[in-house]
Amino acid sequence: MKKKDIFFVGLMLFSMFFGAGNLIFPPFLGMGAGTSFWPAIIGFIITAVGLPLVVLTAIALINDSANALGNRVHPWFGTIFTVAIYLSIGPFFGIPRNANVAFEMGFKSFVGNVPSHHSALLLGFTAVFFFIAYLFSLNPSKMVSYSGRFITPTLLLSIGVLCVIGFLNLDKPIKAPDVNYHTAALFKGLLDGYSTMDALGSLAFGIVIITTIQQKGVNDQKQLTKFTIKAGLVAGAALTLVYIAIGYLGAKMSAYGTFDNGTAVLSNAATILFGNGGKMLLGAIFTLACFTACVGITISCGVFFSKIFPKLSYRLVVTIIMLASFFIANLGLNQIIAFSVPILDMAYPLTIVLVTLSFLHRFFGGSQKVYAGAMLLTGIVSLFDGLKMFGLDWAFLDSITEKLPLASVGFDWIVPAVIGGLAGFILEKFGKPSTPKEIKMEKIS
């Protein structure tokens, strides 16, 4: 592959990652972190950029979908976990959230806020939005041309204009951090990075990037892995620059008032800098970002589900995804976010542990018991954390989890994961050897 091809594949991957959450969370982090911006944004980049690249590398190394990673725990787990990931980043949460943000920040900036007709406008907008996204998704091979060569450069240029003008004209001193970032800005940034959903996205996008590179004539495993990682680094560099830019814009906006969310931060910044025209610029940025993310996610889901369910054609899967996303999008943004955040809190620890074990795979002989032990205890803790966010609370369990190391900074699952993995390793060494079926599964994975 030529360097130019790698660059455009990397931009395509960037466009698949960069959606609603990627625009909303960094400026809100910047506003809250204030003078503690740098440790906070470093934490954010670790989980919002570094972790997705690690996941992408793991997928490239096995040259397969996320299902192959999950099979190392158990074939049933591999299927259920991967399907849950695709549904979460796809029609259940990711795609509807992007469509809603495109409506709120894009369409409304051109027509104005009309509360009495909000539902009807959302219905009409999402119908058109998903129809166009559907047409783009039917031709995944054209994704590099559409996104990498045209849409993404336009998006990056628009963001660059907004941020550069903001850095030059927003000259009030940055405020001190609020209570959330006052003492542990780095750890708060790490947790904020979860919200982009990009580590989960990497599990889905990996196979699409591998397929795209294969279509360029690359079939050698080592070359395929190398080019996938290089494309990931291009996407990661672009994401890092954008996060720092819009995050720092949010930090500078901390002196201009208190805002409820990242969209309000960017909207007010655009209005201060460009007047009414700023809302249109910001609307274009959000619409482009959300649209390309929706198309990328839809393609990933279409490839995955048509592969594990061969009787379903790619076109049929894409049609079902678009229809489901359309109906869920019309429930409203607040309802979608309220359900998605607890799910992310449960899914991310499992993803991190699974990918970490994949890199340590050869050190423990790929033992299924190690995978199962680590994932079991991680799953118990993360499930309880997610249920608490849904409002289900048990004082007895609270008293246990609150005593776990790192619980105060949101990483109470790490020690249980280590204990579970070590328990599995001991059982493998001193217990009953792995069965031929387990060994066979490892070879396939």
364 and 239 in a common domain: no
376 and 324 in a common domain: no
Q: Between vectors from CA 190 to CA 188 and to CA 193, what angle results, nearest 5°? A: 110
316 and 367 in a common domain: no
206 and 67 in a common domain: yes
In this prediction, residue 438 carries a pLDDT of 41
Candidates 434, 308, 418; CA nearest to 357 is 418
246 and 194 in a common domain: yes
229 and 88 in a common domain: yes
In this prediction, residue 66 carries a pLDDT of 74
266 and 400 in a common domain: no
CATH number at residue 97: 1.20.1740.10
Distance in angstroms (rounded) separating the CA atoms of residues 274 and 269: 8
Provide block-wise average pLDDT over 10 residues at a time, the chain (445 residues).
87 86 90 95 94 89 76 89 87 89 80 69 93 91 70 89 93 90 89 81 82 82 89 95 96 90 88 87 88 90 89 95 94 74 79 90 91 93 79 68 76 90 91 50 39
12 and 94 in a common domain: yes
Distance in angstroms (rounded) separating the CA atoms of residues 210 and 10: 12
In this prediction, residue 114 carries a pLDDT of 61
Supply 122's token pair.
């959302």
Supply 355's token pair.
């990918």
* Positive/negative CA dihedral, 271, 277, 278, 280: positive
In this prediction, residue 225 carries a pLDDT of 87
Tell whether 374 is covered by a domain: yes
238 and 102 in a common domain: yes
In this prediction, residue 336 carries a pLDDT of 76
Tell whether 401 is covered by a domain: yes
In this prediction, residue 421 carries a pLDDT of 94
Distance in angstroms (rounded) separating the CA atoms of residues 384 and 378: 10
Q: How many domains does the chain have?
A: 2
Task: Indicate the residue among 273, 301, 335 that finishes a domain.
Answer: 335
127 and 33 in a common domain: yes
**What's the length of the chain?**
445
Domain of residue 320 covers 3-335
Distance in angstroms (rounded) separating the CA atoms of residues 393 and 396: 9
Tell whether 410 is covered by a domain: yes
Tell whether 293 is covered by a domain: yes
In this prediction, residue 215 carries a pLDDT of 81
Tell whether 345 is covered by a domain: no
Q: Coil, strand or helix: which one is 320? A: helix
93 and 234 in a common domain: yes
Tell whether 352 is covered by a domain: no
Candidates 104, 138, 118; CA nearest to 20 is 104
